[in-house]
């Protein structure tokens, strides 16, 4: 059962056909969206015309990255039960967004999460600090997606890695530059439907080998590879490291710029909450599927084959698709994986462009005196610039194991963005100095500790032993950001910010003054 010869690594006609069909369909959507993306509200937030269920699908599409689909399935296929820590970590952040973040974000902000933090605080220091955290999160996330896309296209289409990276960057620039948030939203919706449908069919076809009984699948895995595949400890033996990773994934979700800006696309706070409800259900269902896909690949494909094709296990889902549905189904799943990367990259690019044009240009350099027309010009130039940066980063990190980039992106989001966002919403005593210090502390601590961790200090730099023993810094960096935010606010209070807290609460809970 595990002795098949895979066609991965050879050009796949089905993949190419599905790939071009997806590109053509989404570019047609972009063409129509471009006719509506004239104003800043339309470009940044789709004119706030997206319904709750549409935004829920788009949120799911934006969040279910290639790291989720390919990475988690691969981790489970090689490490067993412990791969579930990523699934659970990615999922449990959504109730936090639903109950703490969604409504204040929609009522208090305009286009970015920095709008909320700066609502009653001094604009310039907060937006500069928040922009640093946001852009670092976007860039680290972009590197992982771009390198993944290049490797995937090289493997499935037989194209050179460099050509694949440039193609991804060009298409992504077209989506965002011409269609703005509306085109990005529909690309993400289409991708979510394709991914959920493809994963569902794959699971059904895989379970047909086990009488459609998940317990038979798990029992077979245990009988083949030992009971240890059903027990924790295969991926992370250090409990502190596991908790730190869980914290980063859980709270980082509530600090990802490209996720948070989606709440401005809906008409009101009720639709924002509804969209989180739909997204949570879809994402939860998806992670159940990836867990089953991982174990099915372990049994039907075999760990040795999975590791031989890709040492990190990232091709496990594609290998399972080939085992269960042949080269045609493999081609479809490969094209869906590529669509997954394109949708996430488009969302990240739009978030980065919005940070540069709205937070930095309009509110810092122009101090709120820029025209909407000039802001749009800057946003489009920033889109092209970020697209070029994404291509260069993808080329620079060719062949690198960039798994730590996703973890670092979540760690920065959890440490830099989430504490300041939560403090500004819930604590009257939050001051400008405290919030800015919290963001800077979280950013520096997360980046610094991961540079000193085994992932970078040993694996990348080649040193004998790490200075910081854990692979994930969030257990240290996030509490540090909260503590510095509290201490800075106590030591350097902000009377103006405290006086505006009542007005903020009224707008927060009642939506008075929100668009």
CB atoms under 10 Å from CB of 335, counted, come to 26
pLDDT of residue 252: 92
pLDDT at 211: 93
The pLDDT value recorded for residue 218 is 94
Which numeric CATH code is attached to 13-404? 1.20.1730.10
As a whole number of angstroms, the distance between CA 469 and CA 31 comes to: 50
Task: State the Cα–Cα distance between residues 193 and 141, nearest whole angstrom.
Answer: 23
Q: Which residues contact 248 (CB under 8 A, 6 or more apart)?
A: 89, 407, 410, 411, 414, 472, 473, 474, 478
Phi, then psi, of 47 in degrees rounded to 5? 65, 20
pTM to 2 decimals?
Answer: 0.90
Which pLDDT score, from 0 to 100, does residue 4 have?
A: 61
Length of the chain: 515
56 contacts 279 by C-beta, under 8 angstroms: yes
So where are the chain's domains?
Answer: 13-404
| String of DSSP letters for 166-216 | HHHHHHHHHHHHHHHHHHHHHHHHHHHHHHHHHHHHHHHHHHGGGTT-HHH
Q: What span, in angstroms and rounded, lies between the C-alpha atoms of 97 and 138? A: 19
pLDDT at 420: 95
Categorise residue 160: left if φ over 0, alpha if ψ from -120 to 50, beta otherwise: beta
Q: Cα–Cα distance between 43 and 383 in angstroms, integer?
A: 12
Q: pLDDT tens-digit profile of 397-448?
A: 876 656 667 778 899 999 999 999 999 999 999 999 999 999 999 999 999 9
Quick check: helix, strand or coil at residue 5?
A: coil
Sign of CA dihedral 147, 380, 368, 267: negative
Q: How far apart are CA 380 and CA 496, in angstroms?
A: 35
Please give the pLDDT value at position 403.
60
Please give the Cα distance from 345 to 349 (Å, whole number).
Answer: 6
Distances (CA, A) of 8 to 156, 294, 352, 354: 6, 18, 34, 38
Position 205 scores a pLDDT of 96
Residues in the chain where the model's pLDDT stays below 70: 1-5, 9, 399-404, 512-515
């Amino acid at each position: 059962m595990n002795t098949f010869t895979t066609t991965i690594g050879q050009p796949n006609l089905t993949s190419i056909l599905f790939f071009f069909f997806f590109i053509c369909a989404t570019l047609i959507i972009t063409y129509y969206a471009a006719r509506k993306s004239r104003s800043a509200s339309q470009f940044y937030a789709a004119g706030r015309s997206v319904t709750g269920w549409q935004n829920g699908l788009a949120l799911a599409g934006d969040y279910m990255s290639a790291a989720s689909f390919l990475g988690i399935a691969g981790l489970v296929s090689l490490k067993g039960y412990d791969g579930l820590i990523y699934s659970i970590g990615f999922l449990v952040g959504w109730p936090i967004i639903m109950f703490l973040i969604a409504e204040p974000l929609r009522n208090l902000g305009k286009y970015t999460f920095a709008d909320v933090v700066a609502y009653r605080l001094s604009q310039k220091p907060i937006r500069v600090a928040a922009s640093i955290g946001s852009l670092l999160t976007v860039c680290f996330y972009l590197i992982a997606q771009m390198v993944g896309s290049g490797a995937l296209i090289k493997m499935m289409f037989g194209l050179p890695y460099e050509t694949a990276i440039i193609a991804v960057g060009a298409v992504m620039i077209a989506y965002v530059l011409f269609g703005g948030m509306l085109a990005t939203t529909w690309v993400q919706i289409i991708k979510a439907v394709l991914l959920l449908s493809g994963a569902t069919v794959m699971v059904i076809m895989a379970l047909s080998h086990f009488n459609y009984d998940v317990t038979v699948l798990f029992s077979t895995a245990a009988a083949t590879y030992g009971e240890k595949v059903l027990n924790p400890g295969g991926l992370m033996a250090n409990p502190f490291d596991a908790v730190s990773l869980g914290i980063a994934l859980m709270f980082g979700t509530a600090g990802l710029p490209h996720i948070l800006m989606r709440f401005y696309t809906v008409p009101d706070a009720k639709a924002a909450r509804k969209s989180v409800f739909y997204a949570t259900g879809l994402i939860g269902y998806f992670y159940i599927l990836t867990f089953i896909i991982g174990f099915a690949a372990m049994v039907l494909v075999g760990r040795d084959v999975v590791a031989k094709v890709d040492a990190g296990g990232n091709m496990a889902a594609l290998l399972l698709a080939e085992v269960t549905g042949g080269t045609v189904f493999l081609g479809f799943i490969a094209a869906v994986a590529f669509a997954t990367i394109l949708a996430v990259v488009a969302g990240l690019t739009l978030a980065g462009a919005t940070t540069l044009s709205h937070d930095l240009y309009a509110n810092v350099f122009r101090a709120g005196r820029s025209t909407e027309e000039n802001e749009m010009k800057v946003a489009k130039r920033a889109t092209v610039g970020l697209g070029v940066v994404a291509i260069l980063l993808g080329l620079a990190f060719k062949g690198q194991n960039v798994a730590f980039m996703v973890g670092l992106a979540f760690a920065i989001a959890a440490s830099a963005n989430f504490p300041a966002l939560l403090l500004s919403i819930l604590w009257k005593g939050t001051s400008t100095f405290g919030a800015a210090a919290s963001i800077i502390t979280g950013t520096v601590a997360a980046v610094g500790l991961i540079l000193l961790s085994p992932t970078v200090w040993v694996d990348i730099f080649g040193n004998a032993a790490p200075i910081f023993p854990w692979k994930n810094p969030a257990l240290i960096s996030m509490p540090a950001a909260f503590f510095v935010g509290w201490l800075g606010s106590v030591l350097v209070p902000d009377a103006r910010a405290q006086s505006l807290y009542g007005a903020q609460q009224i707008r927060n809970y009642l939506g008075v003054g929100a668009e």
